[in-house]
Amino acid sequence: MLSSVLIANRGEIARRIIRTARELGVRTIAVYSEADAHAPFVMEADVAILIGPAPARESYLVPEKIIAAARQTGAEAIHPGYGFLSENADFAQAVIDAGLVWIGPPPSAIRAMGLKDAAKKVMIEAGVPTTPGYLGEDQSAERLTAEAAKIGFPVLIKAVAGGGGKGMRKVERAGDFAAMLASCQREAAASFGDDRVLLEKYVTRPRHIEVQVFGDSHGEVVHLFERDCSLQRRHQKVIEEAPAPGMDEATRAAVCGAAVKAARAVGYVGAGTVEFIADASEGLRADRIWFMEMNTRLQVEHPVTEMITGQDLVEWQLRVASGEPLPLSQDEIAIDGWAMEARLYAENPATGFLPSTGPLTHFRLPEGDVRVDSAVEEGGEVTPFYDPMIAKLIAHGVDREDAAHRLAEACRLVEVWPVKTNAAFLARCASDPDFVEGGVDTGFIEARLEELTEREFTDAPTLAAIGQRLEAFMEADVRKTDVWASAPSRLLGFRMNGARAAMDLPLRVDGKPVPLRVALVGGGATAGDDWSWDITVEDGRPLDDVDVLPGTYGDDPLYVFEGGDVREFDFTPKVGGGGHVAASDGAILSPMPGKIVSVAVAAGQSVTKGQTLLILEAMKMEHALAAPFDGVVAELSAVAGGQVSEGVVLAKLEPVA
């Protein structure tokens, strides 16, 4: 067994590797950027080395710094995790040339599978079925446009060096192809340093099926069955599961056999995933499943495979890298139950899933019934420099319905503030009746996006939240203080020789004003008198009795967590017409810190509602900011290449008269 390993990664996967390495007695070395100085994985490693500033291109993506850290700490091996340099063949070769053990496939296998067009050619030669499309060297816009027309729309544009859903565009109409191609090439160049693309026929009811394979240095290759990653949004996986729903034994044998054949074709060693696209219009069939690509690394969703097989894939990686044979033969690997994984992102579904950054003042994840692989902890911070995934929730059940129920319940127990998350969205996905019945394809979320992102709250927690503060306020106002000695704020609604009149009190729920009226009934003017009150909100519904919690009206906002979501109740009185300052409807604000990639308009230009004004890059993704109405660009401060902070006014529109 290896004596020590340096983890060339961060966050959740670094913690995951550290956990297994510690169980095996392997010393762990973490490398970290300035932004991650206090991250959990840094604290948990045996040794930690600072390798540069926050931007990944100055730290985690610099091979020389990582290899230097390995030499400095006496590391025997380097584990790349996933993302960053994990599929960089040159880095893998540099690690080997430095006399270190590379925990991954040979550089030759990474190269063979790293470029989608070359990988498809290898698969065709190996007899693995592939989807129809264009893999040519001619990358001119004219040739690509002609090939797309030949394939027939819709088509899929995919970055040759892409992965993780980046550098991918679905094009429905010929008229949209040029703009989509330019956007895809730009994102591919920024993410992978390679703007080449390939074209594929878009399958109208696609399922994303992938097979976990594992090879050792003794020539053995096995599979650990399939996963279904069809529940996606914009080609980003949302919920993954194993095994795949609707997979019969004949189809399983065919697709898993094809995956093993693919791995053998490139002399694969270590953990890898062979991805297939299935035409599910007539259910899963062996003749309707085609090779897409191979990921030459451990996948984000590997825990669902671990849950149904009872195996630790990181342990397998460490053992294979140590020269040991595979822990089990193919006949010894079996499926037990069902597993599902949800990716918890720091993003706000209510604003189109824009990433959310900031401190994690309140951070609670479920315990006990599910496995939680977390990147952060309470008191930490989500920065704009890295992927917004902050945790993975993995549920295991006796069958698919049981696993879905457990996953949905786990998502409902998530409590995070003030960073926004997709927890409630995940809970709705996992509990959707069609999803539970197995009716899943890659268009599932898009077809139900409005209902899946709609915020839902029951009356009880909402009314209780208001009641908690108001009852405390009324207690302090009329029961515990002599009214004649009260400050003016204590005399709200007071009337001589009678009960106080009804009072309209300020309340904002999630930043929006909500009418709130309190009427006191009976009682006298001093402490000990028998006061009571009626409280109504919005449509006149009465508030039921609730327990009084510490705090008084006018304190800091109150937060109520329900179903994975959170509501903010702000009772702070505003004097002199104050309140939240908001930009006018025509102001285009930066939704998060980031870099302006391009500006598509000029000052004085007329624009139409929905037209893209500029593109902001943040947390490894592009975000198009569009015109909210027809108008004219009155002001434009955004400059391509410029860095901006959250809330900055980038442009202002004036409506057309």
Helix (H, G, I), strand (E, B) or coil at 451: helix
Per-residue burial over 592-602, b if 16 or more Cβ lie within 10 Å, else e, is bbbbbbbbebe
Helix (H, G, I), strand (E, B) or coil at 430: helix
CA distance 636 to 650: 6
Which of 125, 76, 69 has its CA nearest to residue 96?
76
Which residue has tokens 């949302």?
238
CB within 8 A of 382, min separation 6: which ones? Answer: 346, 356, 357, 358, 360, 376, 388, 390, 419
- Sheet with 4-7, edge to edge strand ranges: 47-52, 27-33, 4-7, 77-79, 101-102
320, two tokens:
């294979």
Residues contacting 174, CB < 8 A, separation 6+: 145, 148, 149, 153
Instruction: Look at residue 15 and give its three-state secondary structure.
Output: helix
The angle formed by the CA atoms of residues 610, 615 and 618, to the nearest 5 degrees, is 125
Q: Is 47 helix (H, G, I), strand (E, B) or coil?
A: strand
d(CA 395, CA 179): 41
Name the nearest CA neighbour of 427 among 443, 439, 415, 441. Answer: 415
Residue 36: which region, alpha, beta or left (left: phi > 0; alpha: psi -120 to 50)?
alpha
Q: CB of 157 within 8 A of CB of 176?
A: no
Q: Could you tell me if 417 and 384 are in contact, meaning their C-beta atoms sit under 8 angstroms apart? A: no
Order of all β-strands in the sheet with 166-171: 133-134, 197-201, 155-163, 166-171
Q: Which of 169, 207, 233, 297 is catalytic?
A: 297
User: Which residue reads 């007899």 in tokens?
Assistant: 127
330 near 241, Cβ under 8 Å?
Answer: no
Report how far apart, in Å, the C-alpha atoms of 194 and of each of 19, 216, 497 are. 35, 31, 81
297 is catalytic: yes
- Exposed e or buried b per residue across 491-505, where buried means at least 16 C-beta atoms within 10 angstroms of its C-beta: ebbbeeeebbeebeb
Integer Cα distance of 4 and 613 in angstroms: 51
d(C-alpha 622, C-alpha 394), whole Å = 28
Q: How far is the C-alpha of 357 from the C-alpha of 349, rounded, in Å?
A: 14
Closest CA to 190 of 615, 598, 593, 620: 620
Map residue 567 onto helix, strand or coil.
strand
**Alpha-carbon distance 444 to 457, whole Å?**
24
Q: Give dist(CA 215, CA 69) in Å, integer.
A: 28
Q: How many CB atoms neighbour CB 545 within 10 A?
A: 8
Residue by residue, DSSP assigns 163-181 as ETTEEEEEE-SGGGHHHHH
- Catalytic site residues? 297
